[in-house]
Structure 1
Amino acid sequence: MIPAGHTAVMASRREPPDSLEFFPTPPWATRALCKHVLPHLGLQQAMQFCACWDPACGEGHMIEVLLEYLNGGWGSDIFDYGRGYRVEDFLDERTVIGSPEDGMAPEFIISNPPFRPAAHFVRRALTLAPVVAMLLRTAWIEGVERYETLFRDQPPTLFAPFVERVPMTKGRWDPDASTATSYAWFVWLRGRQPMAPFWIPPGCRKALSRPDDRRRFAVQPDAGPLLATAAE
């Protein structure tokens, strides 16, 4: 387990197969969940005491930010990115459920899952935790198959689209990227009826970005001989 706030998130990188759809989450988009969406659901107090699991954590872009707000948590992924997180297939029913330290079951499952098997991620997560939040394209709310296998009987408690775009780039987080794709948080609370949509307000990218995000989460260019010498 990598401690929260680790300062060398990009120190070691392993490229996953293309089939894994690795699109790291901008840190501010996760903070928007914690600062706006979960409080809108009345979960401020629960966040102080509950543990979280990100079962598609990649290089830690989301779980490390979640640990800024939640009491504890851990990450896992089907691919070993060389970051020290547990390597396992979340969709395999034999997967160990619980934290690596004490086996405690998660009360939050929060993730940016691969788009194609995302419905399978949600259905499994709903059997394991009372609060499930998934970051997905807003277009994910469409589709007959998803409606029949998920939304008809298990609609999200809250559909929370971002007013501003959330740029995601394949394989790495680029703090300067832009995008035409829109994203939303889909949140399920066990036993709670669906609520009206909640629009995540504009300005989050600026307000919720932190000065050290680039150092912590962005891929750093290789230093040439002159830079390496100067750093020494």
Structure 2
Amino acid sequence: MQNRSHAVMAQRTEAADSPDDFPTPPWATRGFMEHVLAEFGPFKKLSCLEPACGAGHMAKVLKEYFREVRSSDAYKYGYGSVRNYLDVPYEANAVDWVITNPPFRLAEDFVQRSLIVAREGVAVLVRTVFIESVGRYRNLFETTPPAICAQYAERVPMVKGRLDRKASTATGYAWLVWKKSGSRSTRLMWIPPCRKDLERDRDYPPNR
């Protein structure tokens, strides 16, 4: 008999024309900055681009760390500029870092574009299964491996179209980080349980 529990069924499977709007809980972005990207800081003099910003949940946290955060999205959410990252490219070396939770089906294209746009590094939040696939290995990982693969030790619940503090998920997420200079090998690490320490009441709309 099929297990239809919410945690098992809450998978990110979207149509090809979907905005794929699954906001990143702010605590998860802080966890990445504190436990993964911190070794490349400080960032107070650096710039960052979030090119799939949605309603700004990740970009607002990045502003806690970076001097400047540019935000855009292909769809209108009322935050950042409306700009299709793949159709209307930014200039080469436009910012120090590109950090984003891209539409899953476009994540490989986002990485390739971001490696041109960023001066120092690129970081994408993806489903852990993104590191699978022969095609993705041939097109990306074989020639341009990330410097870091950082897996969340605790689950990061993402709900379509909104933040939900009470949500659960069966989907695992990891950050892939590319540095424009340095080793061409990939280091595996874990983001330790950190939601309790990094979650803020102000992160959520009222009654969430």
Give the TM bin, normalised by the shorter chain: 0.7 to 0.9
TM-score by length of 1: 0.78
| CA deviation after TM superposition for structure 1 residue 95, in Å | 3.0
Q: Which runs of 5+ in 2 are unaligned?
A: 1-15
Q: Which runs of 5+ in 1 are unaligned?
A: 1-16, 99-103, 222-232
Deviations 1:99-121 (A, max 9, x none): xxxxx921010000000011000
**Structure ID, larger Rg:** 1
| Count of matched residue pairs | 191
Instruction: Note if contact 2:145-2:186 (Cα within 8 Å) is conserved in structure 1.
Output: no
Correspondence list, 1:39-188, <5 A: 39=38, 42-45=39-42, 47-83=43-79, 85-92=80-87, 94-97=88-91, 105-129=94-118, 130-188=120-178
**The structure with more strand, counted as a fraction of residues:** 2
Distance 2:90 2:41 in 1: 28
Residues 1:19 and 2:18 aligned together: yes
Aligned residue identity for 1:90:
Y
Question: What is the match of residue 3 of structure 1?
Answer: none
Question: What is the match of residue 227 of structure 1?
Answer: none
TM-score by length of 2: 0.86
Deviations 1:178-199 (A, max 9, x none): 1111000100001222242111
Distance 1:53 1:35 in 2: 18
Distance 1:219 1:153 in 2: 46
Distance 1:25 1:148 in 2: 28
Distance 1:29 1:183 in 2: 10
What is the aligned-residue RMSD (CA, Å)? 1.9
Instruction: Note if contact 1:109-1:125 (Cα within 8 Å) is conserved in structure 2.
Output: yes
Percent identity for Structure 1 against Structure 2 = 47
Distance 2:35 2:155 in 1: 16
* Structure 1 consecutive aligned stretches of length 4 or more whose deviation exceeds 2 Å: 94-98, 218-221
Distance 1:96 1:120 in 2: 14
